[in-house]
């Protein structure tokens, strides 16, 4: 089994991934800076199972500290694969704070790549985003589509920049890379600013749910454990291959319209939703729709969770989380 560094390990996807990698027998080195985007106590709770595991070690550090900061913060023991999930996330906030997103997601990623070069670590799984496709007219989105003029938010631009950086390090320094474009991940531990989390909360508070646009915008919702399965398969792929560079979509291959999602959330909660229509938000795309054939071919990736199942799991977790708080 391998020794794997997971950046952003205290977050929504990162904490699930760390648990999965430990379950698979790997040793996991976790790194997180506890960005104050949402409450630190939630992230510490995310890590509870990992911190009790003998093959897990945690290091609090910020990738913006640069090479020296990472050398000081991270252990010198061998690391075979880096899974880079740490980033400032969210399209809307990036429109309001573009510099913070570029500092975290571009400069921070560059520092991590330099640390990997310094440590001679040769395998990287990089978390990108479906937002890089923007409003590309052709659907479903394929990994070989030209994207230079596609990004319509600073977040999207920061993620595409990350992919370009990973290619540069592959070309110059022989880094093996798998870039994965995530498509609207949801499920237990989801960030409180994301739509499904907000919709459940508003329903229970008997508040109307905001509908941006006419409700026909659609997202390729992917349950977190399906995404995590794709990442774990990607780690195994990197371990089994030398000097590779590839990009894959990790989605569900089924867009769900906003009005359909709200109806499904209402059914999962057991309450009828009331709607409040509002203008579209800056930076939002119309549709995300993943072509997942490449991930199926390379990794055997096959999402299993229906939207109804995933929403029930999320509501069950939210009930438990509220009880604990």
Per-run averaged pLDDT (10 residues), the chain, 325 residues: 97 98 98 90 95 97 93 89 96 94 98 97 98 95 93 96 98 98 97 93 96 94 98 98 97 96 97 94 90 98 98 95 57
Give the chain's domain count: 1
Does the residue 256 lie in any domain?
Answer: no
Taking only Cα atoms into account, the Rg of the chain, rounded to an integer number of angstroms, comes to 19
- pLDDT at 322 (0 to 100): 62
The residues with which 247 forms a beta bridge, in sequence order, are 179
155 is catalytic: yes
pTM for this predicted structure: 0.96
Does the residue 120 lie in any domain?
Answer: yes
Does the residue 215 lie in any domain?
Answer: no
Place of tokens 């089924």: 254
Residue/partner pairs of 44-48 with CB below 8 Å, 24 or more apart? 44/10, 45/321, 45/324, 46/10, 46/11, 46/12, 46/14, 46/15, 46/189, 47/9, 47/10, 47/15, 47/18
Q: Which domain holds residue 59?
A: 3-183+224-251+291-303
Tokens in use for 310?
């995933």
- pLDDT at 323 (0 to 100): 47
Does the residue 241 lie in any domain?
Answer: yes
Does the residue 271 lie in any domain?
Answer: no
Calpha distance 131→245 (Å, rounded) = 21
- pLDDT at 200 (0 to 100): 97
Does the residue 282 lie in any domain?
Answer: no
Calpha distance 45→324 (Å, rounded) = 10
- pLDDT at 320 (0 to 100): 87
Does the residue 170 lie in any domain?
Answer: yes
Phi, psi for residue 22 in degrees, rounded to 5: -65, -45
Q: What is the CATH number of the domain that holds 76?
A: 3.40.50.720
- pLDDT at 283 (0 to 100): 82
Q: Which of 101, 133, 155, 221 is catalytic?
A: 155
Q: What residue spans of the chain are helical by DSSP H?
A: 12-23, 40-46, 48-51, 66-73, 91-96, 98-102, 108-119, 154-173, 195-204, 224-240, 258-269, 293-299, 307-324
- pLDDT at 75 (0 to 100): 81
The residues with which 219 forms a beta bridge, in sequence order, are 256
């Amino acid at each position: 089994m391998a020794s794997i560094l997971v950046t952003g390990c205290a977050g929504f996807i990162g904490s699930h991934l760390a648990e999965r990698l430990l379950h698979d027998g790997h040793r996991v080195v976790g790194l997180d800076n506890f960005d104050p985007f949402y409450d630190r106590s939630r992230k510490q709770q995310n890590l509870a199972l990992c911190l009790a595991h003998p093959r897990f070690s945690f290091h609090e550090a910020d990738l913006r500290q640069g090479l020296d900061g990472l050398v000081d913060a991270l252990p010198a023991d061998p690391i075979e694969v880096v899974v880079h999930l740490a980033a400032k996330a969210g399209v809307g906030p990036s429109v309001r704070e573009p510099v913070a997103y570029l500092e975290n997601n571009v400069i921070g990623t560059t520092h991590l790549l330099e640390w990997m070069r310094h440590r001679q670590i040769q395998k990287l799984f990089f978390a990108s985003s479906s937002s890089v496709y923007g409003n590309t007219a052709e659907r479903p989105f394929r990994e070989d589509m030209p994207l230079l003029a596609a990004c319509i938010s600073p977040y999207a631009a920061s993620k595409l920049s990350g992919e370009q950086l990973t290619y540069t390090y592959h070309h110059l320094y022989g880094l093996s890379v798998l870039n994965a474009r995530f498509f609207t991940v949801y499920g237990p531990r989801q960030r409180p600013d994301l739509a499904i989390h907000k919709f459940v909360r508003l329903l229970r508070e008997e508040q109307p749910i905001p509908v941006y646009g006419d409700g026909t915008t659609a997202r390729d919702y992917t349950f977190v454990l399906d995404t995590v399965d794709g990442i774990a398969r990607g780690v195994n792929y990197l371990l089994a291959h030398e000097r590779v560079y590839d990009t894959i979509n990790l989605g569900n291959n089924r867009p769900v319209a906003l009005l359909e999602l709200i109806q499904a959330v209402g059914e999962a909660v057991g309450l009828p939703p009331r709607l409040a229509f509002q203008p579209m938000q800056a930076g939002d795309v119309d549709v995300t729709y993943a072509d997942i054939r490449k991930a199926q071919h390379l990794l055997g990736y096959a999402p299993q969770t229906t939207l109804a199942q995933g929403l029930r799991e999320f509501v069950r977790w939210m009930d438990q989380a509220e009880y604990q708080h």
